[in-house]
Structure 1
Amino acid sequence: MIYGATGYTGKLTARVAAQKGLKPILAGRNASKVQAIAEPLGLEWAAISLDRPNALDKALEKVDAVLHIAGPFSATSKPMLDACIRTKTHYLDITGEIDVFEACAARDDEARKAGIMVLPGVGFDVVPSDCLAAHMKRRLPEAERLEMGIAGMGNMSHGTGKTMVESISTGTRVRRGEKIVALGKTPRRTMDYGKGESNSIAVGWGDVSTAYHSTGIPDITIYFEASKDMERMASLGPAARWVMGTGPVQRFLKKQIERMPEGPTDEQRAASFTTLVGEATDSAGNVVRSRLETPEGYTLTAETGLEIAQRAAAGNVKIGFQTPSNAYGADLITEFDGVRREDLNA
């Protein structure tokens, strides 16, 4: 099942699934919207609300795995995961939210008792970066610090934009000494994404959670290639962040996002790519660096999400809470077209 099929990423994933000859059940809250997407693709559909657990359970009992795409996951992950545990259905989502990853990790025992895999982050968040993190750990097994940078993010969907708005008030979250902490001052550095050194700004990305669960590296910082908007956001003080996190301001910002284009066009996606850089350091000062190039983020999300969903539905799973690399290895990302990984030093 693909739940959340009426949003930008859900519609794209449904379309790609049909092109591949797959037959997922498309689901969402709004019957007319789900029907309008499913019927032209020749796919079965269902209208289900997450706040109706009996109906949700009945629908999940028909499937082996759910690919949950309906964000923001801060609101939608728990009721869907609750239902998956009740019905013994493998849970997958495309979140990039630190708190959602940590909440899923905290339910490892429940997932194991139910005999299911709980694998959040099966899209661009966080398959490529998680696999890169695991690759860095493989290259430097005693690594104590991991820094990763991401460039080429491009246009955001409404769901991604709203998720980023929700994170404004938290400060820049990193991992230090195995703990997730919020820094008062946003770290900055330069990274080489393939065209020389580029200014980069730390962000509270999902890998602050998942890279630790995949590698055990105690200090983790994630960076984005700097833009003017990011520079402005990083310069906000604590008071401004607090104001930006209040209900009225959050509602206003989310309404502005709704007025933006739903997401990149097919042409924009085809013309774009992303670059990720990993740098791991051990206590002796040894450093390894690697770079990963992938297709545009939403394009990759549809591919990785569907591939992992197929594996889960076929029973190719590891029970309990998992990350992409823990479930399928550091080289999972290299199995997809348009992906190239390069080690930058020996």
Structure 2
Amino acid sequence: MQQNSFLLYGANGYTGELIARYAAQYNLQPVLAGRNETALRALATRLQLPYKVISLDDTAALVQALKAVKFVIHAAGPFHLTAQPMVEACIQAGTHYLDINGDITVFEMLQQYDQAAKDAGIMVLPGAGFDVVPTDCIAVLLKTLLPDASDLKLAFATSGGGVSHGTAMSMAYKLGEGGAVRRAGKIVRTSLGHHGRWIDFGPKKLFTMSIPWGDVATAYFSTGIPNITAYTGIPLNVYRLLKLQRLFNWLLRTSFVRNIIKKKIGQRPSGPTDEMRSKAYSLVWGQVYNTAGRKATVTLKSPDGYTLTMYSCLLMAQKICNGEWKVGYQTPGTAYGAEFVMEIPGVERDIIIANHR
């Protein structure tokens, strides 16, 4: 086993290919893996990297491949279909698990493997990318600033860039499913965009709506704060249209509509170009309150989501190679602390503490 080698499953996807391209900058050598031999061979030839063709259905082959490395970066979604076979193979192999998932249900499912991961002596850390590194690190920092916080609100907005096939497909699977928040420690299902509000991100003030972002699951594990809502930036006129979506959720959940949308996604480019990514950026905001009326706010500016995901995964990979990891189920914040996000190139942060709302 090479000290700097790891399995990159889903390497021929948009984000996987990005991680593979930049791995050498972190002195890492991924073994490219997935199901599409033609795409993998082409990428492996271009980057001069080894590759393996493995199906997630072939448990024996997957476990064998995982035993040859210290950890896997699992980048092949949709994760509600792919995460379970991969994490179970990792537990059998004794191999650390990272993924770039952002689905609440997947975070909750993987948390159920905490004891099995501890027994196997491995770390299981989903959400190693934009979902949910910057928001989770902000949540952990805010908990430190206001230890008795009862409410946590998190938001993000993007400027420029675009959406990859994988992200779009994951969204297609969730059409018509509604939203989610955490109340009194429990996840509560709501309508999508049940709450809209203006948020001052620092550089600009933007309208946002509530969404079922991964932090509804992970931030509770990271901080124990019982009430959590996540938001994303959206044009006000689009928000007004989305408020009507609940009338058509039954239609959006049909396989007929979802298959039409998936076909359209397949006809689009695989994701934003390097030039688009270089001009894009993300804004992140977090705020906590306690029952006495104190609050703390953190704002952050970062590269676009795909660039941040690439850097974040490779930084974590480097840390694992250096023996820096924690056993069991982890979030980015519990494994590497609130300051981890500041190790990512291009990230800027501001902290505001106020005595009253």
TM range (shorter): over 0.9
Instruction: Write the deviation string for residues 66-120 of structure 1: whole angstroms up to 9, x where unpaired.
Output: 0000011011000101100111100000000001100111110111111110000
Task: Report whether the alignment pairs 1:92 with 2:101.
Answer: no
> What pairs up with 1:111-190 in 2 under 5 angstroms?
111-152=117-158, 154-184=161-191, 186-190=194-198
**Structure 1 residues 198 and 168: alpha-carbon distance in aligned structure 2, compared to 1, 3 A threshold:** same
Residue of 239, 245, 260 corresponding to 2:253 = 245
5 Å-filtered alignment, 1:28-47, equals 28-47=34-53
> Post-superposition shift, 1:227?
2.9
Question: Using the alignment, how far apart are the partners of 1:132 and 1:294 within structure 2?
Answer: 13
Give 1:322's match in structure 2, choosing from 305, 313, 330: 330
Cα deviations across residues 227-267 of structure 1 (Å, max 9, x unaligned)? 36852663134341122012221111111112222111101
Question: Which runs of 4 or more aligned residues in structure 1 lie more than 6 Å from their structure 2 counterparts after TM superposition?
Answer: none
SS of residue paired to 1:275: strand
Work out which of the residue numbers 49, 61, 70 in structure 1 matches 2:55: 49
For the pair 1:110 / 2:116, whether they are aligned, the reply is: yes
C-alpha separation in 2, matches of 1:139 and 1:18: 37
Q: Give yes or no for contact 2:148–2:290 (8 Å, CA) kept in 1.
A: yes
Query: 1:177 is matched by which residue type in structure 2?
Result: A
Q: CA deviation at 1:19?
A: 4.0
Q: For the aligned residues, what is the CA RMSD?
A: 1.6
Corresponding residue SS for 1:169: coil
Tell me the secondary structure at the aligned position of residue 112 of structure 1.
helix
Check the 8 A contact 2:140/2:333 in 1, yes or no: yes
Instruction: Give percent identity, aligned residues only.
Output: 45
**1:332 equivalenced with 2:340 (yes/no):** yes
State which of 226, 251, 273 in structure 1 corresponds to 2:234: 226
Indicate the SS of the match to 1:303: helix
What is the TM-score when the length of structure 1 is the normalising length? 0.96
- TM-score normalised to the size of structure 2? 0.93
The answer as to whether partners of 1:27 and 1:45 remain within 8 angstroms in 2 is yes
**What is the distance in 1 between the residues matched to 2:320 and 2:262?**
34
- 1:290 corresponds, among 298, 302, 306, to 298
> Following TM superposition, by how much is the alpha carbon of 1:273 offset from its aligned partner in structure 2, in angstroms?
1.1
**Given that residues 251 and 257 in structure 2 are in contact (C-alpha distance below 8 angstroms), is that contact kept between their aligned partners in structure 1?**
yes
Partner residue, 2:316: 308
Q: In the TM superposition, what are the counterparts of 1:190-229 in structure 2 within 5 Å?
A: 190-227=198-235
Query: Aligned residues, how many?
Result: 346
Aligned to 1:3: 9
Which runs of no fewer than 5 residues in structure 2 stay unpaired? 1-6
Are the structure 2 counterparts of residues 222 and 164 from structure 1 closer, same or farther at C-alpha, using a change threshold of 3 Å? same
- Greater displacement, 301-310 / 113-122: 301-310
